[in-house]
Structure formats: structure tokens, C-alpha cells
Amino acid sequence: MKDLLLDAQKNKYAVGSFSIANMEMVRGVLQAVEETKSPAILQIAEVRLNHSPLEIIGPLMVAAAKNSAMPVAVHFDHGKTKEKICQALEIGFTSVMFDGSGYPFPENKKLSAEILAEARKHGAALECEIGCVGGSEDGSEDIAMNCSDPAQAVEFCDEVAMDALAVAIGNAHGNYKEEPKLRFDILEKIRDSVAVPLVLHGGTGISENDFRKCVELGICKINIATATFDSVEREVREAYTAGAINGYYDLQTAETRGAYKNAMKHIKIFGCAGKA
């Protein structure tokens, strides 16, 4: 992930980091990545492991990335526990996120430094978060939004040698209840204050223009989760309605197609097509 994001930072585009839940979604994303010759990140969040156990989905993700013709990183998103983060590293994930946003700032720094040491043992990159992105990764909690403090971003990056920093600028996980009002002023201040590549979570529902402005102002990695799941579900429903599913393999094809369509859409918006 570190190499992908540094190139994105240098050449002013964003890498799509796509959450997946099964083999069909992995295949759909990678089909789009290979057709567009894009770098990409496959990711899964800790909160989703009840549905996609890490010991099963993790090796699949790593194998898919290794076999792709394009540069693909494998990322553990919103890691909450050291146990699961270390398990992802042992499986071969090339980066992990420690989400310490629920802790007081000093504790977030301390715990992030401990996770950084584990990541470095495996040659992996670390993403951290300051402030608090609204909602929760699986939609089960209504977590309040708390925009990142540019001064804390500087302090955090000075003390913890992370490889990517997730910022909260009015973005939220899941489907937005109203049009998001992103704090581009905060993003610009953070970009001007730290050298580390910046990450935007809660990408579902942000407009194309706002995505592009985020990239212009320093966002190098954009997480897409809910939009992928919604696209897969919609594609399956439409296929059933059209009478196009006559067996399990038709269902697999519809799932793959849903993930593919969503990845293609966002790759074009993020400006990463042809950047592999």
C-alpha cells in the first residue's frame, strides 16, 4: 500500500480501496482493475469477519492479489484488536489499519505505535485515523462525527511513523441521510501540515465533484464499501427480476458483475485508470 499511495500522492490521483466479502466480489473488482490498468487495494474490515472469517477470506484475497497482472495491495481495514490485526499480518496482508479513533488522543497514539511495531515485523504498512468518521463500517452503530484537528495530525505524524492517515472531514460510513458537507478547509490544512498520504473513508454517496476535489487537496486512498455491497445486491435483484438466473453460476456471475460495475465507476472518478 505504501508504494501505491506515494505514487498517487506524487501524480495526484487516488487509489480505490474496495471492501469485499466473497470471491465473486474479489473477481469483479480485479476484472475492472485489469481492464483499466489501475493500481488497487482489496480490503476487509474487522467488523465484517462474522460473515467472512479472516482465516478463509484472507488467503483468498492474498492469492488473488498475487495473481493479478496489476499492482494490488491487501489491506485490513478498521482493525480494532491486536489479535485480528496480527492474524491479518500473518496471513500476508500488506497493510493494516489501526482504528484508535474511539480512544482519547494520547491513547490512540500509544496504541498506534504498538501496532506499527507489529506491522514493521512483517514489512507491512500502517494506516491510522484521527478525529472520527461518522457511522460504523457495518452500519450497526450511529457513531458521531468528529472532524480531525490539523494540529493533532501534525503531532500524531511526528510521533508515529505511519504510512497513511485517515481524516474525518464530514465524511461518514454507510449511506448518507443527506448530502455530505465536506470540510475542504480542514483537509487543506492537514495536507499542508503533514507529508503522509491521506485517506478518505465513507466514500459511498459523495459526489463526483467532491471526490475530485478531495483528490486535488491531497487524498490518495478512497475507501469504497457500501457502494460495492449495494451494487452487488442490486445486480442480483435485477437479474432475478429479469429471469436471468437459472442456477447458482448465474448468481455468481451477477455478483461479480455488480462488483465490477461499481469498481469501474470509481476507478474513473479517482483518476487511477492507466496508472499501474
Q: Could you list the active site residues?
A: 77
What is the full DSSP assignment across 162-188? -SEEEE-SS-BSSS-SS-----HHHHH
CA distance from start to end of the chain: 13
Q: If you search the block for the grid coordinates 466479502, which residue do you land on?
A: 21
Rounded Cα distance between 187 and 219, Å, is 8
What is the full DSSP assignment across 199-234? EE---TT--HHHHHHHHHTTEEEEEE-HHHHHHHHH
Task: Pick the closest to residue 262 from 229, 221, 219, 215 (CA basis).
Answer: 229
Alpha carbons within 13 A on the beta-carbon side of 64: 26
Q: If you search the block for the grid coordinates 451477477, which residue do you land on?
A: 254
- The phi and psi torsions of 121 (rounded to 5 degrees) equal -60, -30
